[in-house]
């Protein structure tokens, strides 16, 4: 039994080592695939401010002064006041928004799926240098209309004080425009203006784009400046594609390769010489930005990417920014990559912070591991090797944290040593944001008791003009949902789905369905609910359905054998007439052979005997020159039928027939003797005019 114990212990140790070998990679894979942070909302950046620009956070009622490098999130509203006011917002590395004077812009949707903005007043230009319409959307709402960009280009939206909207597309852009009642495509170099009042309210006036004005000139100058200072080619060598805002760092510093960290960026001395005892995260302010909480806003013009991505290291006697770290699977945008600590003093508690070290986990991440406090000998070794880390600790009184008037400063040596040995704050800093606008309002109310000057509104904060409260968009928008698909279905297709075009329809037209044409699939007709066709009678008010009336017999024109369909406009014969009208006999004419031919007489049509049209054989008429027409008694004048009544007004008026003068009846000669021996030459002498040709009936 004593010999089995070492074997059992060895086996247990090997089993534990084997389990640890297979368990560690699995945990690493799970950690790699999972998100490191709970808050991953998309943000935008303020890159330029001129004049009076105010910002109202989502869910807040007060306005605050906007600053450069302020992060913007979904639901924020920005407003400019004054003719010289300018504002530029960077959506990502290549897309920018520029807002002119007296304008109000709200970020309705700001997500990876797309961006939706609302301009209720003023002028704004949107530069889209990168847009994949199949994966993301970019839409702008204005009073009564929505612009959905489809291509990269330049889009301008103007909203007047009265609410009229003018949209302009340039530089290869193309957008689908929607209003409350219509939708169409606006292409490059064209302008669409929505009529807001009058009898034509809701209509669009389309024209070519107008000449560039002062606002367009300023936008062009700004884009030329950025094209000179921003660099996009070959940036993947230095940082990942998730990082944006670093394309401007070449103008403020240089990239250096190090064996320990890879490519690092070091600012020029001229870029930080204006700051006394400069260190990362020292010159700027802490602002409250939901949902992230306390966010660092740097005073340096380049202070966006280095303060929200990567790590800061002290390399070759300079502070350098490392974009890539081995602890991150993806470079998430973070409000600040620092360590917060509380240090109590005799003058009150102070809040201290310093940059996260290379490879150190963020205390606000999911995979943060508790750090052991440094011992005295470790602190001494740290001071001997790299004292710059102690000089990089910044502090501010806890009561002034988050106030714009409070300026952070370098921590004293004693406080810095205590901050290094103190356990960092896990998660968010437990300090509630102070409402500077409320404090100023309280001060104004106290001043109003002792002076006659009117107190300023708490929501103004130097922003005194009234803002319009008008709805925007062609339909009600929900955050995170694009309107293009819904508006296309309701505005263009009348609530129906668009017809899908097959490959045969495109390639040569083979297999094209000739029935289902048009932009949408037309619903089938319900023939059971249709009224039967009604044929008008002589009075124009016949109620007999067309499918119940007997078929009209086809008429035959003598001499041609042509069948006249009942649908043609032909004069009808009434059954109440005593007998049809007879045409006078035309005189005999000579044919080419000199023979005389007499026109055969038409047989009298009897109304009471109507033959069936399908059983009546088609008659054939041929002149018979050898037959002598028999003499008929002269018709009595009183038997002539009355003239036809005028057709109904709904039918075209027929041409009037020429008035025929009564022709003198030829003298009746004695009937010739029927002798077979009479020569044929004598019969030809009597009829010198030749055979009578069959005349065509009048089809009028």
Render pLDDT for 288-297 as a digit per residue (tens, 0 to 9): 999 999 999 9
Residues in contact with 181: Cβ distance below 8 Å, sequence separation at least 6, in sequence order: 202, 491
Q: What is the dihedral of CA 229, 232, 238, 239, to 10 degrees?
A: 110
- Asked whether residue 547 carries a pLDDT value surpassing 80, the answer given is no
Distance CA(139)–CA(121), nearest Å, equals: 16
| 8 Å CB contact between 112 and 98 | no
Given the structure tokens 């660099």, which residue do they identify? 231
Q: Taking the model in full, what pTM does it have?
A: 0.66
Question: 376-385 and 413-421 helices cross at what angle (nearest 10)?
Answer: 120
Q: Return the C-alpha torsion angle 208, 209, 210, 214, nearest 10.
A: 180
pLDDT at residue 378, as a whole number:
57
Residue 281: pLDDT over 80: yes
Using CA atoms, how far apart are residues 184 and 203, in angstroms rounded to an integer?
12
**pLDDT of 180:** 86
Place 126 in a pLDDT band, splitting at 50, 70 and 90.
very high
Share of the chain above pLDDT 90, in %: 41
Q: What percent of the chain has pLDDT over 70?
A: 57
Is 220 a residue whose pLDDT tops 50? yes
Of 332-336, 484-488, 540-544, minimum mean pLDDT range: 540-544
User: Where does 45-199 have alpha helices with state H?
Assistant: none
Give 535's contacts (C-beta < 8 A, 6+ positions apart): 542, 544, 545, 546, 549
Give CA–CA dist 306/478, Å, rounded.
Answer: 34
Determine the pLDDT at residue 463: 58
> Which element (helix H / strand E) includes 4?
helix 4-33
The pLDDT of residue 71 is: 97
Q: Is 622 helix (H, G, I), strand (E, B) or coil?
A: coil
Scan for tokens 């260190």, then name that residue.
279
From the list 82, 81, 146, the residue with the least C-alpha distance to 119 is 146
Most confident among 24-38, 160-174, 676-690 (mean pLDDT): 160-174
Check: CB of residue 78 under 8 Å from CB of residue 119: no
Q: What is the pLDDT of residue 38?
A: 82
What's the half-sphere exposure (Cβ side, CA atoms, 13 Å) at 13?
A: 6
Q: Is the peptide bond before 291 cis (omega within 30 degrees of 0)?
A: yes
* Terminal-residue alpha carbon distance, the chain: 132
Q: What average pLDDT does the segment 420-436 reach? A: 80
* Dihedrals phi, psi of 516, to nearest 5 degrees: -85, 80
From the DSSP assignment, how many helices (H) and strands (E) are in the chain? 11, 29
- Over range 247-273, report the average pLDDT: 94
3-state helix, strand, coil in the chain (%, to 5): 20, 25, 55
pLDDT in tens, 82-98: 999 999 999 999 999 99
Residue 629 to residue 208: CA distance in whole angstroms: 82
Predicted confidence at residue 43, as pLDDT, reads 96
Residue ranges covered by each domain of the chain: 44-229, 237-421
Q: What is the mean pLDDT of residues 9-37?
A: 41
C-alpha to C-alpha distance for 367 and 150, rounded to whole angstroms: 41
Asked if residue 375 has pLDDT above 90, the reply is no
pLDDT band at 670 (very low <50, low <70, confident <90, very high): low
Residues 476-513, buried b or exposed e (16+ Cβ, 10 A)? Answer: ebeeeebbbeebebbbbeeeeeeeeeeeeeeeeeeeee
Residues 6+ apart with CB under 8 A from 624: 600
Strand 137-142 relative to strand 114-128, pairing: parallel
Residues 569-578: what's their mean pLDDT? 46
- CA 108 – CA 42 distance, rounded (Å): 12
The residues, any chain, with a CB within 8 Å of residue 633's CB and separated by 6 or more, are none
Q: How confident is the model at residue 2 (pLDDT cuts 50, 70, 90)?
A: very low
Residue 442 has pLDDT above 50, yes or no: no
Q: Is the dihedral of CA 136, 142, 144, 147 positive or negative?
A: negative
Assigned token pair, 224? 């030329």
Cα 99 to Cα 47: distance, rounded to the nearest angstrom: 12
Out of 262-266, 544-548, 551-555, 568-572, the most confident range is 262-266
420 sits in which H/E element: helix 413-421
Q: What is the CATH number of domain 44-229?
A: 2.60.120.1440
Rounded to whole angstroms, what are the CA distances from 513 to 86, 179, 521?
56, 33, 11
Tell me what the mean pLDDT of segment 389-417 comes to.
90
Mean pLDDT, residues 471-491 taken together: 88
Q: Which residue has the higher pLDDT, 115 or 382?
A: 115
Distance CA 276, CA 264 (A): 23
Q: Which two tokens stand for residue 461?
A: 């904060």
């Amino acid at each position: 039994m004593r010999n089995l114990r070492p074997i059992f212990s060895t086996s247990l140790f090997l089993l534990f080592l084997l389990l640890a070998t297979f368990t560690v990679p699995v945990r690493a894979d799970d950690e790699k695939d999972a998100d490191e942070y709970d808050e991953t909302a998309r943000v935008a950046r303020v890159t330029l401010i001129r004049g009076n620009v105010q910002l109202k956070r989502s869910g807040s009622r007060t306005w605050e002064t906007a600053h450069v490098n302020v992060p913007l999130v979904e639901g924020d509203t920005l407003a400019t006041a004054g003719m010289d006011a300018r504002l530029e917002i960077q959506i990502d590395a290549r897309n920018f928004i520029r807002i002119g004077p007296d304008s109000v812009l709200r970020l309705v949707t700001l997500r990876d799926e797309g961006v939706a903005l609302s301009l209720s007043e003023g002028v704004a230009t949107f530069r889209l240098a990168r847009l994949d319409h199949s994966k993301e959307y970019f839409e702008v709402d204005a009073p009564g209309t929505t612009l959905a960009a489809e291509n990269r280009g330049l889009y301008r939206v103007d909203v007047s004080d009265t609410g009229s909207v003018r949209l302009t597309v340039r530089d290869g852009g193309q957008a689908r425009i929607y209003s409350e009642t219509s939708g169409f495509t606006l292409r490059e170099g064209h302008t669409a203006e929505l009529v807001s009042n009058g009898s034509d309210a809701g209509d669009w006036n389309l024209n070519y784009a107008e000449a560039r004005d002062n606002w367009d000139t300023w936008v062009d100058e700004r884009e030329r400046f950025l094209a000179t200072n921003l660099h996009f080619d070959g940036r993947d060598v230095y940082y990942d594609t998730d990082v944006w805002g670093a394309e401007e760092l070449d103008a403020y510093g240089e990239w250096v390769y190090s064996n320990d960290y890879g490519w690092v960026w070091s600012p020029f001395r001229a870029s930080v010489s204006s700051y006394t005892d400069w260190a990362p995260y020292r010159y700027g302010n802490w602002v409250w930005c939901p949902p992230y909480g306390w966010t660092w806003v740097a005073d340096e013009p380049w202070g966006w990417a280095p303060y929200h991505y990567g790590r800061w290291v002290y390399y070759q006697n300079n502070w350098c920014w490392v974009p890539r770290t081995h602890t991150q699977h993806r470079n998430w945008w973070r409000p600040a990559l620092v360590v917060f600590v509380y240090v109590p003093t005799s003058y009150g508690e102070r809040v201290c912070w310093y940059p996260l070290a290379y490879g150190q986990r963020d205390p606000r991440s999911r995979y943060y591991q508790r750090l052991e406090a440094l011992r005295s000998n470790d602190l001494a070794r740290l001071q001997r090797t790299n004292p710059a880390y102690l000089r990089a600790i910044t502090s501010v009184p806890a009561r002034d944290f988050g106030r714009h008037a409070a300026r952070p400063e370098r921590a004293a040596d004693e406080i810095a040593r205590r901050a290094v040995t103190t356990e960092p704050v896990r998660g968010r800093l437990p300090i509630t944001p102070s409402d500077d606008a409320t404090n100023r309002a309280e001060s104004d109310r106290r001043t109003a008791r002792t002076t006659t000057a009117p107190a300023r509104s708490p929501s103004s904060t130097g922003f005194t003009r009234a803002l319009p409260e008008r709805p925007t968009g062609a339909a009600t928008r929900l955050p995170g949902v694009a309107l293009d698909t819904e508006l296309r279905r309701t505005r263009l297709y009348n609530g129906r789905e668009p017809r899908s075009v097959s490959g045969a329809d495109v390639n040569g037209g083979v297999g094209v369905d000739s029935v289902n044409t048009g932009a949408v699939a037309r619903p089938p007709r319900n023939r059971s609910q249709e009224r039967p066709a009604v044929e008008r009678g002589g009075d124009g008010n016949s109620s007999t359905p067309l499918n119940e009336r007997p078929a009209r017999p086809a008429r035959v024109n003598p001499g041609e054998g042509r069948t006249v369909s009942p649908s043609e406009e032909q004069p009808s014969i009434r059954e109440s007439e005593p007998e049809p009208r007879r045409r006078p006999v035309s005189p005999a004419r000579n044919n080419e052979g000199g023979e005389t031919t007499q026109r055969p007489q038409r047989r009298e049509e009897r109304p009471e005997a109507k033959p069936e049209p399908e059983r009546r054989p088609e008659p054939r008429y041929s002149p018979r020159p050898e037959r002598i027409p028999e003499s008929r008694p002269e018709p009595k004048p009183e038997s002539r039928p009355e003239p036809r009544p005028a057709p109904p007004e709904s039918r075209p008026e027929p041409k009037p027939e020429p008035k025929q003068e009564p022709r003198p009846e030829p003298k009746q000669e004695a009937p010739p003797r029927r002798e077979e021996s009479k020569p044929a030459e004598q019969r030809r002498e009597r009829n010198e005019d030749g055979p009578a040709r069959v005349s065509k009936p009048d089809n009028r």
